[in-house]
Structure 1
Amino acid sequence: MKGYLIWRVVSKGGKRSEGMNAPDRYERFVVPEGTKKVSYERDTKIINAASFTIEREEHTIGNILRMQLHRDPNVLFAGYKLPHPLQYKIIIRIHTTSQSSPMQAYNQSINDLDKELDHLKNAFETVEYWKEFSGTTELQKDDCSRDVEVFKGLLICGQDE
């Protein structure tokens, strides 16, 4: 009888509930209709500061953007927060020098990340090409000398045997 009562409490209409108060999984990814993916709000207390709210994103995008913003010499501060684990959005705060606006810094970081990810994609495609071309699943030590710019930073080459 005790097991039946526990099952009744956990089940919902004959279906097993994944979490009674947890939102549906698709809500983590699908932006609700009428909601912008990215919204911008200027900080009224600090000059050249703003907050960007990005819907349906988490720590991965927040940290990548934060790190890219830190590479910009015009960015004085860049940080992000996830307001609540069940709210699927991040808030990125940016404070820049007078030579740049937070919007310019944000857009530049997005463009730079896009280029960097394209470079990464091309590097992986080149590695796959060399694997197919050489007929092996592993790269040999001398493969690293070919096309150094593509492999730079992506492969650990030539472990001495």
Structure 2
Amino acid sequence: MSEPPPGLPPPPGPEQPWGPRPPAPRRRRRWPWVLLVLALLLLGGCVAFLGVVVHEVSEDASRTVRITYTATGNTRDVDISYSTWRDGNLEVSQDNDATLPWTKELHTKGFIKGGSLTVTLGPDGGTATCTVRVDDNPPITATATGAFASAVCTGF
């Protein structure tokens, strides 16, 4: 058999008795399934994280804390005002012409806790210190000296 001239296709080979070969089956793509699994894992992780956060916030909101307000010093008549969040409401109380030492203990719960304690000295001056302790956490303190000075404890 001779070679075909250049540029022409080779002559067809002998016919196979079983016919031409069928086309190869199409391969299925895997990347859409991998992408779907990754998306489901990400979604599941987000839902689990959100569930943990909601649980922690709910637990913290229902936990009762003890707040102890204390005022000490070497002066007589002081004005004391204190505020506390109770069940989502801010309660403000005042004790005018209080004598030192002075203590008040409150129990509160709710998502927002805290408040402030202010001890204001009278015209005779002196020194006064305010102290706020929440449960067994370290106390927050402030000291004031002089006539009409104020010691303010916040951030608890």
User: Normalised by the size of structure 2, how large is the TM-score?
Assistant: 0.23
Bigger-Rg structure (1/2): 2
Instruction: State the structure with bigger RCO (CA 8 A, min sep 6), 1 or 2.
Output: 2
User: Normalised by the size of structure 1, how large is the TM-score?
Assistant: 0.23
